[in-house]
Each structure stands twice: as C-alpha cells, then as structure tokens.
Structure 1
Amino acid sequence: MRWKEIPCNYSMPNTLFHAKKENNFPIFSILSPPLNKGIFLLETSGRNYLNPKELCALESAAKNNPNRQIYYLLTNIELKVYPALNSLLDTYFNINVVGIELSSFFLRTPMEYLWFHNKIQNSKHKVSHLSDVLRFLIIATYGGTYLDSDIIVLKEFPTHFNFAGVEHVEKPFVVAVGIFHFSKNHTIINRCVNHMAKNFNGDSWSHNGPFLMTNTVKNICNFETMEEINNSNCYEIKLLSPEECYPIYYKDWEFYFNPLKNDHVRRSLKDSYIAHLWGKFSSDVPINKNTTLFELANNNCPIVAKNYL
C-alpha cells in the first residue's frame, strides 16, 4: 500500500527557492524557538505542502516529544493547508509549520556570501545542500535538535547532552547528520558552520553533511573512534551508536518494506530513537500492510496513517 497522495491539486512554485510576501502562515524569523529545546525539520525543494511521509515524521516527533516545540520549516512560504495538516495542528499544540525567507535568514550570518553569490542555488545538489546549510545554521543559532524528514520518531529525545548519531562504527567511521542535538553556539556546530562557509562544495552530495560532521568531530576531539570520543567527554558531546539512531543500515533499507524481515526490523529498532527510512532510496516504495513499518506508522503517526495508509 502506498501513502495516498495529498488530496488537492496544488500549484508548484516556478523557482526552487520560492518566496512571496502574501503568506498565510507564520514566518520563522518572527518566532522565538525555546533555547536549545526546539526540534527542527526542513522542506527545501520549494514544494508548498508536506507529503504524507513528512507529515508522519512531524506527527511522530510531536507525539513522542510532547513537552517540546516542533518546527517544520518550508522554503516556500505559501503553504497550502489541507485536512490532515489541520488535524495535526488541532491535535498537537507543539506543532509549528512555518515559512523561512531565505534572504532574510542568511543576512548577516556566516552563510551570507554563499547565498547572495548563488553558490547554494547553483550547486549540483541544491535541495540537499540547502538543507545542509540550514540545519547547521539553525542549530548553531537557536540550539536544539535537527531531524531528517524521512524518519519515524519512536521515543522521546534526550535534551541534557549534545549528541550526533554514528551511522558506521568501523572504517569508514561516519557521524551522520540525520539527527543531532547541540546547544546554541556549541563549539562543534559553530566549527561546522564556519568550515562550510569557507569550504562549501557544490559538487559533492556528502561533503557539506556527514563528511563535514565526521571530520569536524574527529579533528576537534583529536580521536578517530566513537569509543575514544565518548570516553574523552570531548566538548560534552556523546556519539550515539548505530543501534540508537541508524540500526537498519542504508544498504538494507528494503528490510523496512519486506514482511519477511519483520522480526529483524523489530529487534533492530528496540533501542533506537528513530526509524530512518533512507528516503533517498525508499521515497516511492509502497508500504505493505503486513510490515513492521506499517505498524510503526500506526503507532507513532496515527492521524497521518489513518488519512494516508
């Protein structure tokens, strides 16, 4: 079974980074996220709506973190409202779906040059790279938790320590950027922002994301492994193990959609904060009603599942 389509014929923006003054929902710059407590998701393709999988990520974050404010930021500030989104807004008072005016947001930040000289807009992976730039800059500016949109949140996130999730422990050691939490202006996140501002690479998909986070953590902590970094209490960061964030490796993403792998998926996720669905590979794959993934959606994003599964 596929997620059903959004039941409206919405116009798409003419440009990727669309902005218009006549918006019908809040602009992020006028909001004041709670210091170090917000949870942030991003839609950077220019769409004016959230698709069902993105809505599931939003609902599961709100449901499992009831004492925190969830912010879904869209670069298209003309959001179209539809019944499922209204249901979420009526049910979860910690959900904020807002627009972000990019030129205003990047002004007087380390990323100002990249934006106003079209380095991001002209990159080969502009949607992903805009997301990379925004996720680092937002967390450096406000503190809090960044969360990818191809995720189902399974339990409440910690807030009493800084963390990032390790995707792969063995060589090549990879600190991923699908979920991370830092306090405002934390040394590691600031170092990522400043390095990206000076060394942005528009040709490489991973250079401005996991490659940047991995190298920053290794260089600033002067260690090469998760165990060494965690034992050193380097800048009060804890690296979460793959079992806690990415228990289904990206090469095994199809396990989520295969009923024969249900037991394996359940065992793998028992200690994890999230189910990361690896949307780069799975975005168009239908969800079988007999899978653990179907069960996860119904348990963690029940309103979205009721409307779209």
Structure 2
Amino acid sequence: MLKQLRILIIVLFIATVIFFTRNTIKQKGMYILFSLIHKSVIFHSLGAENATSYKINNTYNYEYVFIMEIFQQGNGILFVETTDRMDEPSLVLCSIESAARVYPDRPVVFFMKGVGDIITEDDEKKARDRYPTLSTYKNIYFLPLRLEELFAETPFLAWYETINPKREIYWTHVKSDACRFALMWKYGGIYMDTDVISIRPIPEKNFLAAETFTNTSSAVFGLSPHHNMTWEFMENFVQNYRGEVWGHQGPGVFTRVVSKHCGVPQFTSKDHIKCANVLYFHPERFYPILYPSWKKYFEVWKNLPTFNNSYALHLWNFMNKEGKSMLVGSNTLVEHLYKQYCPSTYEGILNKTHA
C-alpha cells in the first residue's frame, strides 16, 4: 500500500509539473523538458500501444503530453478528416461547434491529415486560429492524423502496409472507417461523422445506433478505451475486407458484428435495447430523417420538427451530390439548425454574405 501511495504521489507531481510548464514555457527549444518524463508514466497514462506510436524523445514530446492531458478521461468527442483538405465546409464547422456546445465539459477533437506536428503551444494556437468561428471554444482541439502511428498495435497496420490506394474505389471513405475504429480503441469517447449536428447530450457511455431497423450506423458510436467490441470491429474490418463495396467497411462492419451477437435487434419502442453489453439506440436517436429523404433538411417546413427523440442529426452529406449547402435567408430546416446549434458558424456565413 505504501509503495502504491508513493507511485501515486510521483505521478501527481509529474502531472502538476507538466501542467504549469505547458502554460508558462513557450520557446520551442525548452520543450525538451518533456523528454525527461519517464516512459512508464506515459505507458500507465494511456497505454503502451499509444506510447510506442509517438517519438517519446523527439519532436512529438509536447504533442504527446498534450494528447495525454486531453484524453486522460477517455471521454473525448472525436472527428476525423482523412484528406489534406483544410478549408472545411460550413457543415463540418457546424458539426464540431454543435458538439462543443452540447458537451462543454468534454474535449472535442478534430484529427486532420492536413495539420502539421504540434511541437509547441504556438503550433496549437495556429491550428486553432485557422477556424475563427471555432477559436472561442476552449474545448475544441486540432491534432494531426498520422495513419501509421494511429494503426500501430492494431489489426489495421498489416492491412494498411499492403493496401494499394490507387486501386481502391472508396479509399477516402475506407480510410475514414478504419480511423474511427482505431481512434476509439486508443482514446475512447464518442465518434461522430462531420455531417452530424449535435442537439442534446447522449446520456450513455457505451452505445451503438441503428441507422434503420436492419442496419447499424457507423456515423455515431461511443465506447470506452480498449473496449473488446472495438477490437472485434477492427478484426472484422480486416478479415472481411471488400473496399470496392460501398459501406462494407463502415456500416457493414457494425451490422455484421451486431448480427453475430444479437441477430437483428427488435425495437418495441423508441427506448434503447441491450446488445452484447452495450446499448443499442433506436434509429430515431440520430436518423429521424432517413437517407431517401435527405433533401428535407434543405427544404422549407411549414411546421419545424422538434426532434425531441433525437440526440443528434445525421445530414447524409454523401447523398448530397448536388452540393446543397445552408443559405442565409432560405428559411430551410438546415438554416434553423445552424442558427440554434452552431450560431458562430452561422454568424460567420452571415458576415461573409454581407461583406
């Protein structure tokens, strides 16, 4: 007991030093201090598989400590951008802002392939300042997405090292599917696609969601770090890989695993049901408007829906081949959603319109 107490005191002391150092030291060269942190502390904080994917004694020291702070409670809200795009459309910004507003006490983290290394606090600030409408939310963070490091110590690494992206039809989407599983395995929390607008907090920690009564959603799910079901998702992804089939690596993975454990879940009400020790949400929770009717978001409604049974709304951006977007003054449903759930994003569009 005494030995454990000593270890706890040491860990708390190091955490305190990290906190105050991070907030007082800003010169790049001074961040070498973080390399003095013993690897065992990092291993116990987030797990060995995360520590091995970062350069502990090199340029990523600050970034790793930064990540350690963000994800220490395993309750992050995770978004991902697998292309080099940095000029994000308004729907992406709205999704992130709405999550930051609905979950003010939880970190909202956008992993982006186009973001460079976060070596100093200034790097962190520059990443944040790219998006003025989001910069006032202190719980929003932007982090680089490095696939080999993310896939390390998961079933994905061997698959990723042998795949030929040039032969893949849906490579951007398949990468995104893999990333959400790996991020959930390593960090836990809630994953959301960037076309999901949050409207109220999801009250459960470990959950999956029905997209329809026969298919499971891949756009929103939540699990604890290192949850056994996440590992099963990754294994199913690799073992049944068919990248040429749309949705096979996303909703298909979820649906196959859920079917294995629970068959086709049967809802008798809008309440959730249990499946393999996680909660399984009714389609109404995230899909009150199903994909054949996706255009309804961009239409004018005589009576606006309340969405009282929903936690978030999936806007089916993949279906939006026409490039429909929120237009100021259109009085469409999506404009009302922007006004209510991502007002800073809406105001930014409004200012550009009148500039």
TM range (shorter): 0.7 to 0.9
Q: Spell out, residue by residue over 1:78-107, the C-alpha distance to the aligned partner (whole angstroms, 9 max, x if none).
A: 498586713422x21110011112222223
Partner of 1:10: none
State how 1:186-225 maps to structure 2 within 5 Å: 186-221=227-262, 223-225=263-265
Is 1:31 aligned with 2:67?
yes
**Cα distance change of structure 1 residues 184 and 60 upon mapping to structure 2, 3 Å threshold:** same
Is 1:168 aligned with 2:250?
no
Partner of 1:7: none
Query: Does the aligned pair in 2 maintain the 1:244–1:271 contact within 8 Å?
Result: yes
**Cα distance change of structure 1 residues 84 and 138 upon mapping to structure 2, 3 Å threshold:** closer
Gaps of 5+ in 1: 1-22
- The higher-RCO structure (CA 8 Å, 6+ apart) is 1
Among candidates 74, 77, 93, match of residue 112 of structure 2: 74
The aligned length equals 277
User: The residue matched to 1:86 in structure 2 has which SS?
Assistant: coil
- Between Structure 1 and Structure 2, the one with more helix by share is 2
TM-score, normalised with respect to structure 2: 0.71
Query: Does the aligned pair in 2 maintain the 1:256–1:293 contact within 8 Å?
Result: yes
Query: In structure 2, what residue type is equivalent to 1:286?
Result: S
Partner of 1:52: 90
Query: Does the aligned pair in 2 maintain the 1:167–1:175 contact within 8 Å?
Result: yes
Query: Does the aligned pair in 1 maintain the 2:233–2:254 contact within 8 Å?
Result: yes
Query: In structure 2, what residue type is equivalent to 1:126?
Result: W
Larger radius of gyration: 2
Equivalent-residue separation in structure 1 for 2:247 and 2:309 (angstroms):
27
Query: In structure 2, what residue type is equivalent to 1:67?
Result: D
Equivalent-residue separation in structure 1 for 2:335 and 2:97 (angstroms):
15
Query: In structure 2, what residue type is equivalent to 1:296?
Result: L
User: The residue matched to 1:266 in structure 2 has which SS?
Assistant: coil
**Cα distance change of structure 1 residues 167 and 232 upon mapping to structure 2, 3 Å threshold:** closer
Query: In structure 2, what residue type is equivalent to 1:40?
Result: L
Query: Does the aligned pair in 2 maintain the 1:65–1:157 contact within 8 Å?
Result: no
Query: Does the aligned pair in 2 maintain the 1:150–1:277 contact within 8 Å?
Result: yes
Among candidates 88, 102, 105, match of residue 64 of structure 1: 102
Is 1:124 aligned with 2:166?
no
Equivalent-residue separation in structure 2 for 1:28 and 1:166 (angstroms):
35
- Identity among equivalent positions (%) equals 26
Q: How far off its partner does 1:286 sit?
A: 3.4
**Cα distance change of structure 1 residues 270 and 213 upon mapping to structure 2, 3 Å threshold:** same
State how 1:272-283 maps to structure 2 within 5 Å: 272-282=310-320
Partner of 2:145: 100
Q: Spell out, residue by residue over 1:38-57, the C-alpha distance to the aligned partner (whole angstroms, 9 max, x if none).
A: 11011112213322211111
Aligned-residue RMSD, C-alpha:
2.7
Partner of 1:178: 219
Equivalent-residue separation in structure 2 for 1:161 and 1:106 (angstroms):
24
Gaps of 5+ in 2: 1-58, 118-125, 351-355
User: The residue matched to 2:83 in structure 1 has which SS?
Assistant: coil
Among candidates 263, 267, 276, match of residue 227 of structure 1: 267
Equivalent-residue separation in structure 2 for 1:61 and 1:207 (angstroms):
27
